[in-house]
């Protein structure tokens, strides 16, 4: 009790100082609370080691004591003090000081009495011994573990520095470079990722922890290296792919401009889209660097690869209709307009794309681009939709399989809208992998409904061959699409190993397009094209789909073609995907990982905060490196 009385006296003293020396309140500090005690057997007890169980047991009792000491007396006591002091002629300031002093003293007396009369404290002390012993055991165990880890980390750092100085005698003299290597080592040692153990990867056989002092190459890795060398040797024995004489062929036909809106319905799909695009390519000098592939009209047999004969006959009727009859006739179709030349323009668009397919698959060109309209990825077997009359890319895929014996085809659809017709055409086909990135907004964006949902994975006989990356919530940007390519599209494509890649190249996701309202830069489309160039020995064909901002569509396609020609690309500004994009990507991976091994190796996408930290670390490293260089230059001058 003496210790506690001394403690209360200390509190009282400080309260008096607080009232009398207000100008020095910033210099005051909370009174030190004793934490070190001795048991009757002279064993030291450090209360800083109390665990949460002890704290949780103490808090209710202490709260009860303080509550008892303050409940029901303060207001009456203060009024009584004011009445007693009013007749003494004191100023308000002096009266307030005396009242506060008296209240503080009364409060401490009441708390002290509450502590002396509280039986719960006696009950509490019975369990303190056990809690302290348990806590001490935990602390000792953790102390040993921490010491062990610290020793290992120190040893590994020392060995790493020695290794770096031996292997990189020049670089190792640059302290910022050494610091960066050490930090990278620490990240590797502490980073934990989860992946499915049923997938066979070389990384599965690596131990979770390893010493940097071990041999650089373990025997099992040497065996794997020999196996890979044998495989490379076998591949080198095979004849090399002949080099195409042209890097890019451009399929274009003036007939595509004939499709016009005569009803003044305000359709965004118009001939000016193609005219402006061609003008841009010529002004940039891209047009003259490509092989211009003349278009042709697709035959009825070719159109029937994706459409019924009855549907083809219905569209043929428009060639002989008068204008008034045409306007009335088009109202029986979904979101499309007609003129007498519409069937001709649509047939030539399909045929022009097929000419590009011929040029690429016969080796005349490494890659190809079809500048065509109207678009096609919404056109179902028996109906038009969304400005589309014939399924251009769908027909091209079937044509490549039938005429050129192509076994496996990947279709990438990066138009802002889901390609419902492409999905339907190949939903039960394991020879075609269809991947669509599209604005979904939980089914409220065109073409509406649930066809673009990530759970639409293909028919019973082709599950996993239909892949939807369905964007929701806020408008998406470059980083979201790059993340989708790196985490879903490229792993799937390389595992599928296609013989041909077709792209439904819609640019209505570009910034400034009022139909898409997304924030994609023209440069992004060039980067997506670049990422696809490594597939199918470079046999990559782009077919124009949507895109209704004339400038953005033209710039975006120009970047795509420039990339195919081998021109360098500018860097993208920000690579931090939004949280909703990460959710959509993970949803797709979760459902598709059942069918694809490449998606079963899961690495968590970094959060925005983690990427900012990495960016800051790199900037700091560069700054340190530059400062070190400047210091070295100054020393050389001296």
CATH number for the domain harbouring residue 346 = 3.40.800.20
Per the annotation, the verdict on 378 as an active-site residue is yes
| Shared domain check, 129 and 155 | no
For β-strands 36-38 and 44-46, DSSP reports them as: antiparallel
Dihedrals phi, psi of 35, to nearest 5 degrees: -125, -10
Residue 139 within any structural domain of the chain: no
> Looking at residue 139, what is its pLDDT?
61
| Shared domain check, 393 and 285 | yes
Count Cα atoms within 13 angstroms, Cβ side, for 227. 7
- The Cα–Cα gap between 191 and 185 comes to 10
Provide the sign of the torsion angle of the four alpha carbons 430, 432, 438, 443, taken in this order: negative
| Shared domain check, 290 and 176 | no
| Shared domain check, 157 and 108 | no
| Shared domain check, 497 and 556 | yes
- The Cα–Cα gap between 279 and 345 comes to 20
Domain count for the chain, please give it: 3
| Shared domain check, 169 and 290 | no
CA dist 475 to 485, 493, 509, 608, Å? 17, 26, 9, 17
> Looking at residue 213, what is its pLDDT?
47
Judge whether 235 and 325 are in contact, CB under 8 Å. Answer: no
Which of 259, 378, 417, 454 does the annotation list as catalytic?
A: 378
Q: With CA atoms as reference, report the closest residue to 157 among 188, 200, 202.
A: 188
Q: With CA atoms as reference, report the closest residue to 338 among 253, 408, 267, 391.
A: 267
Residue 590 within any structural domain of the chain: yes
| Shared domain check, 610 and 499 | yes
Collapse the DSSP code of 250 into the 3-class scheme (helix H, G, I; strand E, B; otherwise coil) and give the result.
Answer: strand
Range of the domain at 33: 2-133
- The Cα–Cα gap between 103 and 96 comes to 10
**C-alpha angle 279-281-287 in degrees, rounded to nearest 5:** 115
Regions of the chain short of the pLDDT cut 70: 1-75, 112, 114-143, 169-221, 240-241, 265-266, 602-608, 638
- The Cα–Cα gap between 446 and 440 comes to 8
| Shared domain check, 153 and 127 | no
| Shared domain check, 322 and 299 | yes
Residue 211 within any structural domain of the chain: no
What does the chain come to in residues?
Answer: 638
Judge whether 388 and 376 are in contact, CB under 8 Å. Answer: yes
Residue 557 within any structural domain of the chain: yes
Residue 366 within any structural domain of the chain: yes
| Shared domain check, 329 and 461 | yes
Provide the sign of the torsion angle of the four alpha carbons 119, 120, 125, 127, taken in this order: positive
- The Cα–Cα gap between 450 and 454 comes to 9
Q: What is the pLDDT of residues 490-529, one digit of tens each?
A: 999 999 999 999 999 999 999 999 999 999 999 999 999 9
Cross-strand bridge partners of residue 540: 367, 501
Q: Strand order in 409-413's β-sheet?
A: 291-294, 246-252, 365-371, 540-544, 500-505, 409-413, 432-439, 466-471
> Looking at residue 369, what is its pLDDT?
98
| Shared domain check, 176 and 43 | no
- The Cα–Cα gap between 434 and 428 comes to 11
CA dist 376 to 173, 360, 411, 456, Å? 61, 21, 13, 21
- The Cα–Cα gap between 294 and 622 comes to 52
**Structure token pair of residue 195:** 């992946």
133, 155, 182: which is the final residue of a domain?
Answer: 133
Residue 228 within any structural domain of the chain: no
Residue 287 within any structural domain of the chain: yes
Residue 624 within any structural domain of the chain: no
- The Cα–Cα gap between 9 and 29 comes to 16
Strand residue runs (E) in 386-494: 409-413, 432-439, 466-471
| Shared domain check, 429 and 466 | yes
Give the Cβ contact number of residue 108 at 10 Å.
16
């Amino acid at each position: 009790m003496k210790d506690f009385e001394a403690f209360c006296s200390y509190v009282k003293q400080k309260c008096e100082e607080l009232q009398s020396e207000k100008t020095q309140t910033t210099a005051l500090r909370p009174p030190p609370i004793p934490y070190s005690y001795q048991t009757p057997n002279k064993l030291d007890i450090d209360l800083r080691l109390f665990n949460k169980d002890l704290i949780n047991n103490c808090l209710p009792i202490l709260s009860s004591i303080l509550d008892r000491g303050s409940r029901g007396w303060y207001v009456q006591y203060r009024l009584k003090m004011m009445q007693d002091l009013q007749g003494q002629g004191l100023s308000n300031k002096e009266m307030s000081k005396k009242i506060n002093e008296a209240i503080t003293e009364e409060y401490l007396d009441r708390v002290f009495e509450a502590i002396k009369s509280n039986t719960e404290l006696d009950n509490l002390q019975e369990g303190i011994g056990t809690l302290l012993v348990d806590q001490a055991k935990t602390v000792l165990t953790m102390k040993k573990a921490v010491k062990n880890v610290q020793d290992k980390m120190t040893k590994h750092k020392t060995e790493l520095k020695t290794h770096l100085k031996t292997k990189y005698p020049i670089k190792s003299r640059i302290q910022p470079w050494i610091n960066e290597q050490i930090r990278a080592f620490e990240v590797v040692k502490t980073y934990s990722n989860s992946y499915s153990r049923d997938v066979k990867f070389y990384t599965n056989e690596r131990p979770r922890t390893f010493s940097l002092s071990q041999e650089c190459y373990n025997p099992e890795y040497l065996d794997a290296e020999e196996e890979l060398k044998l495989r490379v040797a076998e591949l080198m024995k095979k004849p090399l792919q002949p080099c195409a004489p042209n890097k890019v062929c451009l399929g274009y036909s003036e007939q595509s401009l004939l499709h016009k809106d005569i009803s003044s319905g305000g359709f965004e799909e118009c001939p000016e889209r193609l005219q402006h695009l061609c003008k841009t390519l010529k002004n940039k000098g891209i047009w003259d660097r490509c092989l211009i592939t003349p278009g042709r009209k697709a035959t009825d047999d070719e159109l029937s690869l994706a459409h019924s004969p009855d549907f083809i006959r219905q569209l043929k009727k428009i060639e002989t209709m008068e204008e008034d009859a045409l306007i009335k006739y088009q109202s029986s179709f979904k979101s499309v307009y007609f003129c007498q030349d519409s069937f001709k323009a649509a047939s030539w668009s399909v045929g022009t794309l097929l000419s590009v397919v011929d040029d690429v698959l016969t080796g005349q060109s490494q890659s190809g681009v079809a500048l065509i309209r109207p678009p096609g990825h919404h056109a179902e077997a028996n109906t038009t939709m969304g400005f589309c009359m014939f399924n251009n890319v769908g027909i091209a895929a079937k044509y490549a399989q039938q005429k050129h014996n192509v076994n496996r085809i990947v279709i990438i659809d990066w138009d802002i809208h889901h390609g419902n017709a492409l999905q339907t055409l190949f939903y039960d086909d394991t020879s075609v992998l269809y991947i669509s990135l599209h604005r979904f907004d939980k089914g409220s964006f065109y073409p509406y409904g649930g066809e673009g949902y990530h759970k639409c994975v293909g028919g019973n006989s082709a599950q996993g061959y239909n892949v939807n990356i369905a964007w929701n919530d806020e408008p998406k940007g470059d980083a979201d699409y790059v993340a989708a390519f790196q985490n879903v599209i490229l792993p799937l494509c390389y595992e599928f190993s296609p013989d041909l890649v077709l792209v439904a190249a819609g640019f209505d996701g570009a910034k400034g397009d009022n139909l898409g309202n997304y924030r994609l830069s023209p440069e992004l489309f060039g980067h997506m094209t670049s990422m696809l160039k490594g597939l199918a020995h470079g046999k990559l064909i782009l077919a124009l789909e949507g895109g209704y901002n004339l400038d953005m569509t033209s710039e975006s396609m120009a970047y795509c073609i420039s990339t195919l020609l081998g021109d360098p690309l500018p860097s993208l500004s920000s690579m931090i995907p939004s949280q909703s994009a990460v959710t959509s990507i993970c949803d797709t991976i979760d459902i598709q990982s059942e069918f694809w091994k490449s998606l079963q190796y899961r690495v968590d996408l970094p959060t925005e905060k983690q990427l900012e930290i990495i960016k800051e670390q790199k900037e700091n490293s560069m700054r340190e490196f530059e400062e070190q260089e400047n210091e070295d230059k100054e020393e050389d001058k001296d």
